[in-house]
Each structure stands twice: as C-alpha cells, then as structure tokens.
Amino acid sequence: MSDVSIKLKEVSKSFDGKLIIDTISCDFIKNKVHAILGKSGTGKSVLLKMLIGLFKPDSGKILINGKEAEHYKSVGDFKMSYIFQSSALLNSLTVLDNVTIFLDEHNVDEKESRVSKALKILNELGIKDSANKMPSELSGGMRKRVAIARSLIIEPDILLYDEPTSDLDPINTKTISQIINKLKARGDITQIVVTHDIGFAYSISDTISILDNGQILITGDPDLIKSSKNPILDSI
Ligand SMILES: Nc1ncnc2c1ncn2[C@@H]1O[C@H](COP(=O)(O)OP(=O)(O)OP(=O)(O)O)[C@@H](O)[C@H]1O
Ligand SMILES: [Mg+2]
C-alpha cells in the first residue's frame, strides 16, 4: 500500500475571479505531521477546506489513499476529522456532550461507552476535570483541547487542524504541540496543521510547506526549512 495519505495534483481554486490556490501539487505522507505555513490570507484555510471536502477544486485532483476525493465519501475506508480555526464548540452543551456529539447523533455504541470513551480522551488531553463545564467557562487553550477531543473520538486516520494555536499563549501553545507529538508517536494518524507560527511548526513537523500567494514555495523537514533562508520566513 502506498505511504501517501493525501495527494494534491495541480489543484487550483478561485473566488470571484481571484486565484487563491494556484496549481498546487503536494504529497502528505501517511502517519506523519505536515505543517502548512503562511501569512494571513494566503489560502491556508481554503486548502484545508478542499481537503475535507467543504470546497471543491476548480481544477486538479485530490487523492486520498489513492482515491479521488469526489468518491471518498462513499468509500468509507478511512476517517478524517477537522478542527476549526474558531474551535466551533456548541455553547449550549457541556464539554462532555460536545465531545460525544457525533457518536450521540449517529447512535454509535451505548451511551455509557460513549461517555467513558470521551472521558478517556479528555483525560489524555488533561481536561477531564472540565467535562461538566460549559464552553463559556473555559480558556482558549482548553476550548482548543475540547475541539481536538471531539475530533479524536471518531478515531480519525487523518486529522486536519486550522491554526490550532491562534490566540494561545506560549504555555498553551506548548500543550497543543505536546498533544500533536503524542499523537504522532502513536504512528497511526496523519496530521496536517495549518499555522502562521514558525516556532510551533518546527516543534511538531516532519515536513513543512511554505504557502505564499496560493503556491507552495518550498517543502522540507524543519532543518531544510531553517537553512533555506527563504526571505518569506522573515515575513510570516
Ligand atoms: N468562501 C469564500 N468566498 C470568497 N472568498 C473566500 C472564501 N473563503 C476564502 N476566501 C478568500 O480566499 C483568500 C484566502 O483565504 P483563507 O481563509 O484561506 O486565508 P488564510 O491563509 O487561512 O488566512 P488566515 O491566516 O488569516 O486564516 C482570502 O482572500 C479570502 O477572502
Ligand atoms: Mg485561515
């Protein structure tokens, strides 16, 4: 089986006649952590939304496990989860109910086992004590961890993060980077992380791609990116 989890082949996307993603080709290797680093407005969220299927490319192909994205919804041979830039928790539900919501809605397992699964994940992420709190009672870092817990409960093969450290202080940023590294060590989940935080990208990534003006300028491991001296790095 191929070790490529997601393959982009000359993918382009425009909005209102403006080219946002410009003929991007890129491989994301299975069970590794890939960061997409770029300035605000360069198309990072648009790229992620195409991977999850919220936007369709105007041209080019997205292959997941070798199958074209258009068909993957009906294939059901892998699970993909997405952590929104805003965390997107439901404010009227407790932390626990936010985490179990997908399983509740799809009636997966008994309620008791959904709850124990959620508590186990919340415990791993260090927020089990907040299970009965409402989202409004949480800090930004805790909200982010609840959003990650909600994504993990479906046991995804591919996990996409949109700016998981935006608005977080260095301590919370470090916590998120530890969580991503812990998941990486498990070796069974492909993580793609969009960020404009270079230090954070270095702390989690197997590979980093620099996105600018809708194009990938360079892809490589953190050492290669550090030594590239690409002037774009000074402006992110
Ligand atoms: N649904 C949409 N309709 C029209 N234009 C859009 C839409 N979504 C994004 N865009 C445009 O695409 C461009 C890239 O947006 P995107 O949200 O991907 O940027 P980003 O790199 O994620 O920025 P940030 O770091 O601020 O989150 C912007 O010019 C934005 O206005
Ligand atoms: Mg964005």
3-state SS, one letter per residue, for the chain? CCCEEEEEEEEEEEECCEEEEEEEEEEEECCCEEEEECCCCCCHHHHHHHHHCCCCCCEEEEEECCEEHHHHHHHCCCCEEEECCCCCCCCCCCHHHHHHHHHHHCCCCCHHHHHHHHHHHHHHCCCHHHCCCCHHHCCHHHHHHHHHHHHHCCCCCEEEEECCCCCCCHHHHHHHHHHHHHHHHHCCCEEEEEECCHHHHHHHCCEEEEEECCEEEEEECHHHHHHHCCCHHHHC
Please tell me the distance between residue 18's alpha carbon and the centre of ligand 2 in angstroms. Answer: 17
pLDDT, tens digit, 9 for 90 and up, residues 34-49 = 999 999 999 999 999 9
Report pLDDT for 48: 93
Report pLDDT for 236: 78
Domain boundaries, the chain: 4-75+89-235
Report pLDDT for 101: 95
Question: What CATH code would you report for 4-75+89-235?
Answer: 3.40.50.300
Positions of the chain with pLDDT under 50: 74-75
Please tell me the distance between residue 42's alpha carbon and the centre of ligand 2 in angstroms. Answer: 8
Please tell me the distance between residue 196's alpha carbon and the centre of ligand 2 in angstroms. Answer: 9
Which atom, in ligand 1's list, is nearest to the CA of 55? Answer: 1
Report pLDDT for 71: 58
Q: Are residues 4 and 30 in contact, defined by beta-carbon separation less than 8 angstroms?
A: yes
Which atom, in ligand 1's list, is nearest to the CA of 38? Answer: 21
Choose one of 46, 51, 195, 232 to mutate for the ligand 1 pocket test, by most ligand atoms within 8 angstroms of C-beta: 46
Kindly list the protein residues whose Cβ atom lies closer than 6 A to any atom of ligand 1: 15, 20, 38, 40-46, 196
Please tell me the distance between residue 183's alpha carbon and the centre of ligand 2 in angstroms. Answer: 23
Ligand nearest to the CA of 47: 1
The closest residue, in CA terms, to atom 3 on ligand 1 is 15
- The model's pTM: 0.93
Ligand nearest to the CA of 16: 1
pLDDT, tens digit, 9 for 90 and up, residues 110-125 = 999 999 999 999 999 9
